[in-house]
Amino acid sequence: MSLPGYSEYKDSGLDWLGQVPAHWPIRRLRFVAELNPSKAELAGIDRATEVSFLPMEAIGEDGSIQLERTRTIAEVETGYTYFRDGDVTLAKITPCFENGKGALMQGLTAGIGFGTTELIVARPKVSQVLGTMLNWIFRSPNFRAQGEASMYGAGGQKRVPDDFVRNLAWALPPLGEQTAIAVFLNQETAKIDALIAEQEKLIVLLAEKRQATISHAVTKGLSPNALMRDSGVAWLGEVPAHWEMKRLKDCGCEVVDCKNRTPEPHDDGDYFVVRTSCVKDGQFHPEPGYQTDEANFIEWTAKGRPRAGDVLFTREAPTGEACLAPEGLEFCLGQRMMYIRPLERVLLSEFLLYSIYGGLARERISEKSKGSTVGHLRVGEVGELPLLLPPLDEQREVIAVIGEELSKLKALTTAAQHAIALMKERRSALIVAAVTGQIDVRGAGLQLAAETIEAITA
């Protein structure tokens, strides 16, 4: 949709806001909304009244709220933030603020809600600003950017001060235009969100296809005409008759555990520390790792030094992630990590890696993790992991076929992720353009409103 700008603009006097429509007055938000209204207005309400209760996890990054939880006023009036229908909330603590947590409060039980103390509450003055408009302002990237710049505190405890919202100046259109902007953004962002949801669903399906591809190849083989036999495992059924069922330790694998603590970080150190978060979905991700010094490296490789081609394995937090050790990297393993070095004349590293993600080994890992908030495998249990072992030439064929198929699936996943990123950029740009008057949506908004009314009354 291509929309025109306004016919006349003026300088807002704010470098970050720039030019705004000439008829939009600049107002500080404290003049158009009441911040953090007092709980005293509930004085006449029975303390046994059930009201909505919203911890931070009940407030979405997309403006949604989950209203399943309720509490009595007596239970929540002390130690929680108060709001009511029509109020606009935003999270003030990092990273919730940056991620866009906040919402226009609607449908609260008894019209009243309490929630996390990490919320700022703004109650619109109905003669000045609509709740829907204020919500879109709070959700706009330029508002968030200004908020991030005003944060105080350190690390994970940084917060946006209430005074940032109170004193922030914004250009506000007349109420009729606010309605048009809100209608326009509600409908246009809903279309974009639907497209994003389709791409996210595709990514899930591709991940399922990836898992199915691996599982079938490492348990059924590649030949549809192969002689099969009963595996003796009910869920698995038949397997190639000439494939052996082995435990990891029966394949000549060297299994080396890490120390039960993590090496000290040294930013100027020459050695890399692989953490459990570096290993995900068969891939090595260096970003979560860190550097350490030679003394730590020597101590943490005393049991054995991992090398390129070894299978790195997480035995906890999370359990059962694996990848091939990268080339050209001097590294040691952090806590809860181990490496597996297969005997190459029996088992190829790539085949072992795929077997960990498909078939018997994955089923055993899932069993060990079931019913536990923190799955855990001991060294001996890793050695007991079962797998189906074909001859080396078949292992190579399976590796080649899986690699080719996964490459195709990865390309499709990357394309879907790229599409999502572009649509999110488009969504953000649309919000900024509408709430700052870079585009004139009055005609579009009113048309969309008319279409909505027609659809409802049809």
Q: Which residues pair with 222 in a beta bridge?
A: none
- Domain formed by 244-382, architecture: Alpha-Beta Complex (3.90)
113: left (phi over 0), alpha (psi -120 to 50) or beta: beta
Residue 398: Cβ within 10 Å count: 21
Contact call for residues 270 and 293 (beta carbons, < 8 A): yes
Question: Which part of the chain has CATH 3.90.220.20?
Answer: 25-172, 244-382
Residue 11: Cβ within 10 Å count: 9
pLDDT at 371: 53
Contact call for residues 156 and 94 (beta carbons, < 8 A): yes
pLDDT at 446: 53
Instruction: Give the span between the Cα atoms of 318 and 278, in whole angstroms.
Output: 11
Collapsed DSSP state (helix, strand, coil) of residue 368: helix
Instruction: Give the span between the Cα atoms of 293 and 390, in whole angstroms.
Output: 42
Question: Which part of the chain has CATH 1.10.287.1120?
Answer: 1-9+174-243+390-458
- Domain formed by 25-172, architecture: Alpha-Beta Complex (3.90)
The answer for residues whose C-beta is within 8 angstroms of residue 108's C-beta and 6 or more apart is 51, 52, 67, 83, 84, 85
| Phi, psi of 385, rounded to the nearest 5 degrees | -60, 130
Mark the ranges of the chain whose per-residue pLDDT is less than 70. 1, 370-375, 445-458
pLDDT at 378: 85
> Tell me, what DSSP letter sits at residue 42?
G
Q: Which CATH number fits domain 1-9+174-243+390-458: 3.20.20.70, 1.10.287.1120, 3.90.1300.10, 2.60.40.420?
A: 1.10.287.1120
Q: In sequence order, which ranges of 311-391 are alpha helices (DSSP H)?
A: 349-357, 360-369, 379-383
